[in-house]
């Protein structure tokens, strides 16, 4: 399977360090960096220190007003997706890169997977909250914790491909002991392979 992973900000780089490594064992990944975070301390240092594969595309969008930044990302991501024709687009979190990647995929009728779906602050004045809600409405599969499942299903998403992480433990193997705890993503220690599939009628 060909997966286009969209990243652009520090939290996404950290999660991609784990997910991309596992993903590439069995699938072809196209890594797309939107350039939302672009200076050395917010971008390059994570690729170096966490040994993240070099992005196949760096869109170089940079900073800007919310609408202009998201719109430019949407335009450039769509160009990549039209060229690469992935089977699914993987987005992380709640940034403008997340929303742009999800929208670009949905408009091209490409599947969307959303890591961290269902998380809510319940404050729609936060740009991140709007990004979460809108992204959750176009996804096709996701990684959520059990307490977030009700929110995904409660948002009237008629999805049957929701997956709940088998564990909320942070990664603590020897490879990552030197990484500050605040950098660690909340993914199962087993990697991304051990998920329990739930349908919208399942209890969380």
Cα angle 97-15-155, degrees, rounded to a multiple of 5: 60
Report residues of the chain scoring pLDDT below 50. Answer: 142-204
CB 20 within 8 A of CB 105: no
Q: Quick one: CA dihedral 80, 84, 89, 92, positive or negative?
A: negative
Q: How far apart, in Å, do the first and last CA atoms of the chain sit? A: 29
Report which DSSP code applies to 54: P
Tokens 């433990």: give the residue. 169
> What confidence score (pLDDT) does residue 124 get?
87
- Reduce the DSSP state of residue 162 to 3 states and report it: strand
Q: And the tokens for 9?
A: 């900000």
| pLDDT, tens digit (0-9, with 9 covering 90-100), for 167-189 | 333 333 323 333 344 443 444 43
pLDDT at res. 140: 59
Contact in structure between 152 and 142 (CB atoms under 8 Å): yes
Residue 191 class from Cβ within 10 Å (0-12 exposed, 13-18 middle, 19+ buried)? middle
Under 8 Å between Cβ of 20 and 28: no
Strand partners, 195: 165
124: tokens are: 């729609």
């Amino acid at each position: 399977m060909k997966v286009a992973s969209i990243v652009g900000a520090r939290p996404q780089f950290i999660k991609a360090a784990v997910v991309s490594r596992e993903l590439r064992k069995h699938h072809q990944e196209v890594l797309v960096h939107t350039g939302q975070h672009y200076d050395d301390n917010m971008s390059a240092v994570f690729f170096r220190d966490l040994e993240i594969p070099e992005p196949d595309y760096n869109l170089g969008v940079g900073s800007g007003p919310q609408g202009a930044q998201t719109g430019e990302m949407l335009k450039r991501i769509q160009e990549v997706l039209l060229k690469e024709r992935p089977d699914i687009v993987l987005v992380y979190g709640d940034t403008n890169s997340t929303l742009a990647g999800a929208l670009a995929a949905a408009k091209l009728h490409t599947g969307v997977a959303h890591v961290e779906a269902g998380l809510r602050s319940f404050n729609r004045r936060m740009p991140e909250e709007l990004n979460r809600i809108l992204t959750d409405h176009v996804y096709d599969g996701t990684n959520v914790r059990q307490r977030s499942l009700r929110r995904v299903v409660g948002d009237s998403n008629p999805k049957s491909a929701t997956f709940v992480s088998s564990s909320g433990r942070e990664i603590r193997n020897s490879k990552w002991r030197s990484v500050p705890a605040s950098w660690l993503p909340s993914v199962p220690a087993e990697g991304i392979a051990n998920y329990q599939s739930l349908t919208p009628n399942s209890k969380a």
